[in-house]
């Protein structure tokens, strides 16, 4: 501790006790012939509230911060596992270029559920051997969850870094998943989104970002809420917060050709044989539903993730109809039945469904 600060604290403690007020500092400044601004600057780490300084805080903080973290995350390898079934599509090559550049360039990725937003970021980091720290955001996520805080360890309080601080110090990619579920408490990341690091108020430390650190956020909306009610719980994010993301990628579902590759690879991994026709039908089925959804003909959509669910169900039940049916149970009865009827028609082109997936359903067709 600085000698001048030590002398000042000793004088103040002897005269006023361990807690001093602004009025007492003004009085002290006149007797010590030191400006109030200088005193306040020297005592900044001890400020415990508006116009109040606790002269024991810094000592306590230094003691607690010297304790080990609750979980020494820094010892772990946070590079994601490379998935051999991954197929590149959409914005993946651009995401990979950004990660590879190691330039701080916050990115916002938006798109419907289950279309590979998060998975693509993970695989970009896996291929580049870059560490990734993923944080699943909820409306309850606050500064303590993100930045960190004091935890009780073996009867002692110890500072524990949050995922944001870990990513900053390691030069890792910070993935804020489902960012549009956040409340205004996410605003604690403002300075970090500017690439300036963060000041830890509770420890008096300033954490600078290490080279390679970057932030990528994923969301089902663009941070403006969900007017159609499809994504309940999403919030309107602060405009100043959104403005700090350099660019926004709009992620679409992969094409039928890409989804066929994805499902074919998964079938090989699961040692499924004679599934070529099944995979082709699923791809056509999903594409027709999505096109009809885009035109307002149906209110639900089949995601890439749901196709993966169906393939895995087929590996268990060895029955195509049952696999599709159980994976459609999340929809209401009418939607489920219409989707099942559509799949039946795709299997039997003579019933009126054109195999060319470039065509959409006739509006009068109830599936």
CA 53 to chain centre: 37
Q: Does an H or E element contain 250, and which?
A: strand 247-250
64-109 pLDDT, tens digit per residue, is 444 444 444 455 789 999 999 999 999 999 999 999 999 999 999 9
- C-alpha 165/C-alpha 181 separation (Å) is 21
pLDDT at 228: 63
Q: What is the reported pTM?
A: 0.74
Q: Mean of the per-residue pLDDT values for the chain?
A: 87
| pLDDT exceeds 80 at position 352 | no
Structural contact between residues 204 and 94, judged by C-beta atoms closer than 8 angstroms: no
Same domain, yes or no: 234 and 271: no
Same domain, yes or no: 140 and 79: yes
66 within domain boundaries:
no
Closest alpha carbon to 324 in 362, 356, 282: 282
| pLDDT bracket for residue 363 (50, 70, 90) | very low
Same domain, yes or no: 83 and 46: no
Same domain, yes or no: 150 and 232: yes
116 within domain boundaries:
yes
Helix (H, G, I), strand (E, B) or coil at 271: coil
Q: Does an H or E element contain 20, and which?
A: strand 19-21
Same domain, yes or no: 245 and 262: no
Same domain, yes or no: 17 and 134: no
Write out the DSSP string of 111-156.
Answer: -STTSSHHHHHHHHHHHHT--EEEEE--TT--HHHHTEEEEEETTE
157 within domain boundaries:
yes
Segments forming the whole domain that contains residue 327: 256-351
Structural contact between residues 245 and 205, judged by C-beta atoms closer than 8 angstroms: no
365 within domain boundaries:
no
* Position with higher pLDDT, 134 vs 20: 134
Least confident of 94-98, 110-114, 172-176: 110-114
366 within domain boundaries:
no
Same domain, yes or no: 233 and 117: yes
264 within domain boundaries:
yes
Same domain, yes or no: 29 and 128: no
Same domain, yes or no: 98 and 230: yes
| pLDDT exceeds 50 at position 354 | no
105 within domain boundaries:
yes
Same domain, yes or no: 274 and 176: no
| pLDDT exceeds 60 at position 365 | no
pLDDT at 9: 83
159: left (phi over 0), alpha (psi -120 to 50) or beta: beta
Same domain, yes or no: 271 and 157: no
- Assign residue 106 the CATH number of its domain: 3.40.50.300
| pLDDT bracket for residue 235 (50, 70, 90) | confident
From residue 67, alpha-carbon distances to 71, 152, 200, 202 in Å are 11, 10, 16, 14
Same domain, yes or no: 131 and 280: no
**Number of domains within the chain:** 3
């Amino acid at each position: 501790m600085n000698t001048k600060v030590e002398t000042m604290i000793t004088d103040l403690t002897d005269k006023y006790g361990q807690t001093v007020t602004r009025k007492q500092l003004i009085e002290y400044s006149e007797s010590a012939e030191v400006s109030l601004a200088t005193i306040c600057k020297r005592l900044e780490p001890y400020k415990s509230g508006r116009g109040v300084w606790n002269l024991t805080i810094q000592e306590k903080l230094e003691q607690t911060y010297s304790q080990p973290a609750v979980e020494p995350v820094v010892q772990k390898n946070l590079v994601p596992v490379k998935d051999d079934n991954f197929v590149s599509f959409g914005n993946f090559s651009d995401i990979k270029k950004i990660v590879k550049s190691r330039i701080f360039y916050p990115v916002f990725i938006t798109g419907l559920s289950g279309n590979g937003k998060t998975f693509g970021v993970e695989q970009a980091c896996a291929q580049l051997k870059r560490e990734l720290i993923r944080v699943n955001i909820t409306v309850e996520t606050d500064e303590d969850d993100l930045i960190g805080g004091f935890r009780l360890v073996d009867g002692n309080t110890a500072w524990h870094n949050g995922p944001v601080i870990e990513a900053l110090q390691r030069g890792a990619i910070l993935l804020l998943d489902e960012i549009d579920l956040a409340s205004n408490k996410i605003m604690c990341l403002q300075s970090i989104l500017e690439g300036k690091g963060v000041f830890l108020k509770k420890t008096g430390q300033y954490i600078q970002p290490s080279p390679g650190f970057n932030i990528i956020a994923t969301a089902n909306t663009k941070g403006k809420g969900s007017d159609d009610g499809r994504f309940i719980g999403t919030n309107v994010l602060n405009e100043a917060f959104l403005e700090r993301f350099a660019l926004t990628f709009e992620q679409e579902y992969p094409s039928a050709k890409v989804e066929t590759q994805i499902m074919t690879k998964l079938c090989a991994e699961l040692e499924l044989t004679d599934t070529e026709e099944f995979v082709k039908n699923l791809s056509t089925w999903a594409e027709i539903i999505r096109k009809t959804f885009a035109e307002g003909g149906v209110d639900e959509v089949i995601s890439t993730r749901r196709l993966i669910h169906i393939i895995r169900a087929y590996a268990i039940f060895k029955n195509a109809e049952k696999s599709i049916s159980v994976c459609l149970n999340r929809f209401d009865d009418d939607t489920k039945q219409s989707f099942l009827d559509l799949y039946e028609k795709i299997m039997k082109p003579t019933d009126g469904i054109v195999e060319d997936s470039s065509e959409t359903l006739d509006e009068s067709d109830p599936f």
